[in-house]
Amino acid sequence: MATDFFERQDIARRNTGRLVLLFVLAVLAIMVSIYLLLAVTMGYLSRDPETGAIDWSLTGDLQLVGIAVVGTLVVVGGGTLFKIAQLRAGGRVIADELGGRRLNPDTSVPAERQLLNVVEEMAIASGTPAPPVYLLDEEEGINAFAAGFTINDAVIGVTRGAVERLPRDELQGVIAHEFSHILNGDMCLNIRLIGLLNGILIIGILGYFMFRVSAFSSYRQRRSSRDSSPLALLALGAGLMAVGFLGTFFGNLIKAGVSRQREFLADASAVQFTRQPAGIAGALKRIGGFLNGSTVQSPNAPEASHMFFGQATSGLSGLSATHPPLAERIRQLEPSWNGQFAEGVPRTGSASAPHPSAAGVAGLAGAEAVNGAAAQSVTSAVDHIGQPNTAHLHYAAGLLDELPTAIIDASREPYGARALIYALLIDRRTEARKVQLAHLSRAADPGVCKETLKLLPLIEQLNARVRLPLVDITLSALRALTDAQYQQFKQNIVELVEADRTIDLFEWSLQRILLHDLEVQRFCATPGRVRYRKLYRLQPHYELLLSTLAYTGHRNEAAAREAFEQAKRLVALPQARFRQAEECGLEAVDAALTVLEEAAPRVKRQVLQAAAACIAADRKVTIAEAELLRAISASLGCPMPPLLSM
């Protein structure tokens, strides 16, 4: 593709900036319109009683200007902020409003189980937490959506029609399309579009109510009085209604234009992900040949229409359509398409996902330390951020097949998910193990503690390479914890990690990924503002991060310094200095990442490229070092796919 993950993130932020600019211009136009309406109305009410001439002197009244400006800001700004605050909890609010039912991760219904398997494979392959999946039970149309502010609070919704009528390869294409929206930064833009349009719509709604009240009042007073004030208010209400609804109309045109552009990009990203144009093209053909198409019947569908895979509302075409024409999308994927749509009949079977060979699944699993090709895999890992490919998808499918059924089942419900995380942290050394198990027996839920002991032998037999993917799978179930359960779980993790008075790389990586995701999701954190657009402004934090990585991966100071220098040459920051060992450590990395999170996407790319080069400088990469790189990447909001040996 012409752009990578970081460039697409920059484009999404620029689109948000343009959207805000257009919104400001729209609000200014509304202010002028309301001011003119007020001036005409007040002039009509103050007209000369003898001649009936309108008093135009009020058009220069600054008090009237102030009323128009303040009133518009209060109504439009308040409506926008209210809607965005209403959606602050993330994608699950939108899914609920559309009539979605969250699927139980351990469901045994075949169609639902297949959908969850496809989503899990996509999540592992892309290096993202597995998002909760919602099924729109009442929707017969073939459609899907992704919603949320960030990767960590994203959800995926799928209609009943899509689940029942799409074979597996087409369903996989649709889900890959939605994951592309998650990775491309489209979701946050989509939610802000809903908020901005709601603010403008409030003007029209207020005008409508004023019109109705004035019409009723005018009817009553015409029978008993010659007072024409209600007629003036009636005209004002009609004017406000026209301003609000015209503003909403043009706002919808902006929404449609932004949405159509992003749909083509998501289609192309999905093909890159699956390497199966026929999958997503087949789903589009099936929509075209199905009576219900992609229509969504929910009354809340219009405001979220730009979030869907296909055109969710009927009657929209041309400039007002939120999606490109089906035929145009299909021909982008299959230039030789004959123009025939597929029948939207229920599927009779499901195409199985291709599975990799054992060597393809192994990735970095062969040994505790690997070199050569694996080091090359690490240095190229940044190029795959937000751009997983078929190899990653095959890896994910093979990994899920390899894991014992008991572990997979446990990862899909809150009790088992907590037990799996505890088991991953249990030390194999006798003394530390005793301390950890004693703590769990005192502080953990008895049922979870029992499940931990049951799963522990299975966890200890697992290859180290599956640890972080297993954490990603459990996140969906862990998000369902109550506040009390979460606080207990969080405290237990801290105690297990600190039981031996030291924190190793895996413990830090697990804690960082797990708690970062759950904290963002639980406290409804929205994307932060970019504060740093140049790397030199972050030099102290960059130095601490890279110096710590250099010491972590190399046995002596000379080798660590050489690794730092190699990484420094990649980012053209010649003044960066190598820090002393006593200044470095995982606590320093925590502090540095907190600041680096506020960097622009292209700066994050530079940091991650340097981090990867630093780790791979000696051509030897341990699994723990690879996990560390993925944890750093996830902390910066850059999901890194599994590191495959090339």
DSSP 369: E
Contacts of 408 (CB under 8 A, 6+ apart): 400, 473
Active site residue 402: no
DSSP 324: -
Q: How many CB atoms within 10 Å of residue 249?
A: 12
Distance, CA of 241 to CA of 246 (rounded, Å):
8
Task: Tell me the pairing of strands 155-159 and 144-147.
Answer: antiparallel
**DSSP conformation letters of 229-262:** HHHHHHHHHHHHHHHHHHHHHHHHHHHHHHHHHH
DSSP 599: B
Alpha helices in 58-167 (DSSP H): 62-72, 78-86, 91-97, 110-126, 160-165
Distance, CA of 460 to CA of 273 (rounded, Å):
32
Distance, CA of 144 to CA of 83 (rounded, Å):
22
CA angle 604, 609, 613 (to 5 degrees): 150
Contacts of 37 (CB under 8 A, 6+ apart): 236, 239, 240, 243
Quick one: 242 exposed, middle or buried, by C-beta within 10 A (0-12, 13-18, 19+)? middle
List the catalytic residue out of 178, 303, 451, 507. 178
Instruction: Name residue 620's beta-bridge partners.
Output: 371
For residues 631 and 643, the answer to whether their CB atoms sit within 8 Å is no
- H-helix or E-strand containing 146? strand 144-147
Alpha helices in 339-413 (DSSP H): 358-362, 373-379, 390-402, 405-411
CA 325: distance to chain centroid?
26
Query: CA of 44: how far to CAs of 59, 71, 230, 240, in Å?
Result: 12, 21, 11, 16
Q: How many CB atoms within 10 Å of residue 338?
A: 5
Give the catalytic positions in this structure.
178
